[in-house]
Structure 1
Amino acid sequence: MLNQILPVFLSGLIMLSGFVQANATAPAAPSVAEPDAEFTLPLQEERSPWAITLFDDNPQENQARLWSQTKLMFGLGVGVIGALAVMPESFTNWDKSDLKQFHKKWWDNVSSGPVMDEDDFFLNYVAHPYFGGVYYIVARESGYNQWNSFVYSFLMSTFYWEYGIEAIAEVPSIQDIIVTPIGGWLYGEWAYQQKRSIVDNDGLVWGSAGLGSTALFFLDPVDSIDQWINGDREQPVVEDFDIRLAFAPTFYQVENQDEDRNYFGLVMTFRM
């Protein structure tokens, strides 16, 4: 009887030991996370270097600064029109007699262009690239990369200036549409690097604060004017600055409606 039971007992013991060994070497089953355990998946947003981020809802750049200085440039554009209007026609190629009906002239010019202009070399290949660089550095100083700064310069030089202000007096120019943003990028990036170098040197050029402030003005005139107007933005020099269009004289009582029917003016108010 014992001889029959012993083999069966030993066989069962061997099978049990094999089962225990197999479970000991098997990989542990994954533990179930606690219901209240916090789970986070780190995500890193990667933007294409060609992405246009000027109009992002949640920008990484200083979008508020960019649009604040954009509005400032629209106000400064009025002053530029006034300055060009008093310059000789031989320099600007603007027919001053057309400015009296500027809205009609603007539409005629916009619908007629663009064309190859006959402006001199300085205007086309020095002045326009410089102001393209002025637009460019506004975006660059607001934290945008070179691509977005170029796009901003293109938008401003084409629609704000070429098809906007300048179209009041002349047909949009093919050269200016191309040269202004491209030349503005080349000059503007250089100007941006020069400005950063001067700022890092405590605003000194050759040890002179006067030369430094002058250089900073010409490298980035919009920011210099913005600093003068707004200061630290908590106590601005100029407050309640407002510009609006007027279709009737505001400085005297209109007596002859026929005389003033073509009146168009600009009302500028501010408090210092």
Structure 2
Amino acid sequence: MLRRVHWVLFLALSLSCFPAAAEGFKLSQVEVQKILNTQAIQALDPATPETPAKQPASKFQRMSRETRNLGIMSLGIMAIIYVLPEEASNWDRSEMTPDKLGDRWIRHNRRGPVWDKDDWPLNFVGHPYFGAAYYVMARNQGLTGMESFGYSALMSTFLWEMGVEAFAETPSIQDLLVTPIIGSIVGEGFYIWEQRILDNDGLLWGSPALGSSALFLLNPAGSVSKGINRLLGEEENGFIKEANSQLVVQQARVDHSGEATQPGWAGVRLQFKF
């Protein structure tokens, strides 16, 4: 700080001794004085530090955020499948009531995995496409091919097959194998095509509309994830400017006889600033 003060004083003496220097820069005496005052205040006032440059997020931070967004997307996909006709989803909605979901999830995971009887387009087209979506999302965050394959296997197994979908049905042997293996092979092709379109300024056959549509189909999870980040205020011009979460635990209240008058509970408090 002292060195900075010395430079400010040196500049002040130079301009006062050589007024022609100020005229050479076409600065008036008032403008020179404003510059000197501003520099002197910044040099002497420790309460106005320079704002440090924002550090880019690490690979772990980026993947943690993407995994959170995949969890949100998985719940949305489950809601969409739930409202489909039971002939299409093979889900018994009469058994998927809030009071039965926990027991169903435990029972299905203990029973499985099993060889399912779903139609082949669902097993060998739909599931590989979702496996490719996991893979391409990871590749876009800097993971290698093998790392992205491992991420696809983890997400398809624990987030979806033994996670969200286990509320509705028993985990499937075909899905556990086909989703990450075939999905990663297809996903590498998707990633190469995606990069070629991006290198071509987002154009496909000279059309920006075709380019945008292809980019979404090649990386659907990444595209939706960017929208979630903007919604949560983690991108520029986000809808939510600030979001905070806090774990809240409320102990049970008991009277003098030891009987509980209010049950204990635990939850998450969310705060948003728009």
Contact 2:245 2:269 (8 Å CA) reproduced? yes
Question: In the TM superposition, what whole-angstrom CA distance separates every residue of 1:53-72 from its partner, at most 9, and x where no partner exists?
Answer: xxxxxxx9723222211101
- Aligned equivalents of 1:213 and 1:269: distance in 2? 34
Which one-letter code corresponds to 1:116 in the other structure?
W
Q: Which residue of 1 aligns with 2:167?
A: 168
Query: Which residues of 2 match residues 26-175 of structure 1 at below 5 A?
Result: 62-100=59-97, 101-175=100-174
Q: Which residue of 2 aligns with 1:15?
A: none
- Aligned equivalents of 2:229 and 2:68: distance in 1? 13
The CA deviation at 1:211 is 1.1
Contact 1:230 1:237 (8 Å CA) reproduced? no
Distance 1:267 1:86, change over 3 A: farther
Where do 5+ consecutive residues of structure 2 fail to align?
1-56, 247-267
- Aligned equivalents of 2:82 and 2:244: distance in 1? 22
The CA deviation at 1:188 is 0.5
Contact 1:229 1:237 (8 Å CA) reproduced? no
Q: Which residue of 1 aligns with 2:239?
A: 237
Distance 1:107 1:140, change over 3 A: same
- Aligned equivalents of 2:167 and 2:245: distance in 1? 19
The CA deviation at 1:131 is 0.2
Distance 1:206 1:237, change over 3 A: farther
Contact 1:140 1:149 (8 Å CA) reproduced? yes
The CA deviation at 1:268 is 8.9
Distance 1:154 1:210, change over 3 A: same
The CA deviation at 1:173 is 0.3
Which one-letter code corresponds to 2:167 in the other structure?
I
Q: What SS does the corresponding residue of 2:126 show, helix, strand or coil?
A: helix
| 233-242 or 200-209: bigger deviation | 233-242
- Aligned equivalents of 2:237 and 2:136: distance in 1? 25
Determine which structure has greater relative contact order: mean sequence separation of CA pairs < 8 Å that are 6+ residues apart, divided by chain length. 1
Q: TM-score normalized by structure 2?
A: 0.65
Which one-letter code corresponds to 1:65 in the other structure?
R
Q: Which residue of 2 aligns with 1:51?
A: none
Distance 1:121 1:206, change over 3 A: same
Distance 1:65 1:206, change over 3 A: same
Q: What SS does the corresponding residue of 1:137 show, helix, strand or coil?
A: helix
- Aligned equivalents of 2:91 and 2:226: distance in 1? 32
Q: What SS does the corresponding residue of 2:138 show, helix, strand or coil?
A: helix
- Aligned equivalents of 1:243 and 1:88: distance in 2? 36
The CA deviation at 1:159 is 0.4
Q: What SS does the corresponding residue of 1:171 show, helix, strand or coil?
A: coil
Q: What SS does the corresponding residue of 1:143 show, helix, strand or coil?
A: coil
Distance 1:149 1:190, change over 3 A: same
Which one-letter code corresponds to 1:86 in the other structure?
V
The CA deviation at 1:235 is 3.0
The CA deviation at 1:242 is 7.8
- Aligned equivalents of 1:114 and 1:95: distance in 2? 18
Q: TM-score normalized by structure 1?
A: 0.65
Query: When you count helix as a share of all residues, which structure comes out higher?
Result: 2
* Matched residue count: 193
Q: Which residue of 1 aligns with 2:3?
A: none
